Amino acid sequence: MQLIDQFDRKVDYIRVSVTDRCDFRCVYCMSEKMSFLSKSTVLSLEEIERVIRVFSELGVKKVRLTGGEPLVRKGVDKLFGAIGQIKGLDEITLTTNGSQLKKKAKMLRDSGVQRINISLDSLNPSTFKKLTRIGDLDKVLDGIHTAIDIGFKKIKLNTVLMKQINEEELYDLVDYAIKYYLDISFIEEMPLGQTDHDRQVTSVSNNDILFKLKERYSLSKTAITTSGPAKYFNIKNTQTKIGLISPHSHNFCENCNRVRITCKGELYLCLGHDTKIELMPLIRSFPKNDAPLKEAILNSMSIKPKSHNFSLDDKQPSVIRFMSHTGG
Ligand code: SAM
Ligand code: SF4
């Protein structure tokens, strides 16, 4: 069985947010005072495992666990272990802020996680603190190096550059990635959720980033495609690839292969739209019967939007929910 949407796009990739909670409060992702969901309103770990298994039975091959910060959820080790046993999944990946990686890297590798994306916006402790509000850079760097030492290949850093905050660290971050044989992607700030700053002022365009990168590095475009918003470049004489994730500058929706499931069991068909269906009632009303859940997921393909349309021109965010809600 396969998930094919109304525009004939095959959906074989899910991103699952295992919690909306986080031990950081990145300024582009959360407001200073966040309220989080209560335990009874979020999927249990067993329910998350079930949803992932059901999607795998519908042809999904790749799952990325994200959040919030996935590694702060209590019992997450068990979840990774269980997902590692699901037949039919070719790839289990994780997006993390790195704060818990020192403790968790071995567990992740043993559970079969193949790839890790680690967010790193600054190598300067005080800028890092300003961006994350409460994060500790040393802990994250320790986590990154534990993951490297444990043998994770293809570690990718994710960076959001913001004007007047960390924009000037572009070369430092790329040089760090080159030094440790990592890849690095720059994500344009997206208008998700109401933040305390004006995104029209802070947003750095990937066109500008590319221009600066070319001034210093010799880049060649790669043929790599993830069916997502990223373009990849090799840096000559290094093992580092640079990704530019540009939801504003380029339209990448025609090849979209993914949907997102939040920790509340909402199935979002597009990051930039509110179109969703609620899986929680089906999960809880039919604890032993997957058929209604499968049917709802199959039917959801008829409402997957053709494309998103992010705009920084409006004063209101394009989508009210934060990235930490939907899962990045
Ligand atoms: N806590 C984990 C982390 O930070 O990697 C996983 C969840 S986080 C929501 C996933 C990614 O979304 C991070 O790389 C973060 O930089 C990015 N992100 C969050 N809010 C964003 C926004 N408004 N625009 C662009 N990227 C954003
Ligand atoms: Fe937490 Fe990740 Fe959002 Fe930062 S980007 S606040 S680490 S969920």
Dist. CA 122 → ligand 2 center (Å): 14
For residue 279, the CA-to-ligand 2 centroid distance in Å is 24
Mean pLDDT of the 126-133 span:
97
242, with CB counted inside 10 A (0-12, 13-18, 19+), is: buried
What is the domain count for the chain? 1
- Other residues' Cβ atoms within 10 Å of the Cβ of residue 96: 25
Tell me the pLDDT of the chain averaged across its residues.
91
Regarding the beta carbon of 246 and ligand 1, being less than 6 Å apart is answered no
Is 54 part of any domain?
yes
Q: Is 95 in the pocket of ligand 1 (CB under 6 A)?
A: yes
Summarised one tens digit per residue, pLDDT across range 29-55 is: 998 888 999 999 999 999 999 999 999
CATH of the domain at 34: 3.20.20.70
pLDDT at 22: 97
Handedness of CA 148, 24, 18, 227 (dihedral sign): negative
Residue 3, domain member (yes or no): no
Give me the mean pLDDT over the 59-76 stretch: 97
* 146 within some domain: yes
Ligand 2 pocket, Cβ-based, cut-off 6 angstroms: 22, 24-26, 29-30, 67-69, 97, 119, 324
Does some domain include residue 322? yes
Query: 221 C-alpha to center of ligand 2: Å?
Result: 29
pLDDT given for residue 134 in this prediction:
96
C-alpha of residue 77 to centroid of ligand 1, in Å: 22
**Mutation to probe ligand 1, out of 137, 161, 186, 187 (largest number of atoms < 8 A from CB):** 187
Domain that holds residue 227: 13-326
The pLDDT score that the predictor gives to residue 328 is: 60
The tens digit of pLDDT for each residue in 13-29 reads 999 999 999 999 999 99
**Which contacts qualify for 294-299: CB closer than 8 Å, 24 or more apart?**
294/54, 294/57, 294/58, 296/267, 297/3, 297/54, 297/55, 297/58, 297/267, 298/1, 298/3, 298/58
184 lines ligand 1 (CB under 6 A): no
Probe residue for ligand 1, chosen from 24, 25, 95, 155 as the CB with the greatest number of ligand atoms within 8 Å: 95
Q: Which pLDDT tens digit goes with each residue over 280-317?
A: 999 999 999 999 999 999 999 999 988 876 555 555 55
Residue 122 placed within a domain: yes
In a domain, 121, yes or no: yes
- Give the span between the Cα atoms of 278 and 264, in whole angstroms: 8
Interval between CA 190 and ligand 1 midpoint (Å): 9
Q: Is 159 in the pocket of ligand 1 (CB under 6 A)?
A: no
pLDDT exceeds cutoff 50 at 171: yes
The CB of 28 under 6 Å from ligand 1? The reply is: yes
Question: Is residue 2, in this structure, part of any structural domain at all?
Answer: no
In a domain, 317, yes or no: yes
- Gap from CA of 193 to ligand 2 centroid (Å): 13
AA letter at 230: A
% of residues, the chain, pLDDT over 90: 76
Confidence of residue 227 (pLDDT cuts 50, 70, 90): low
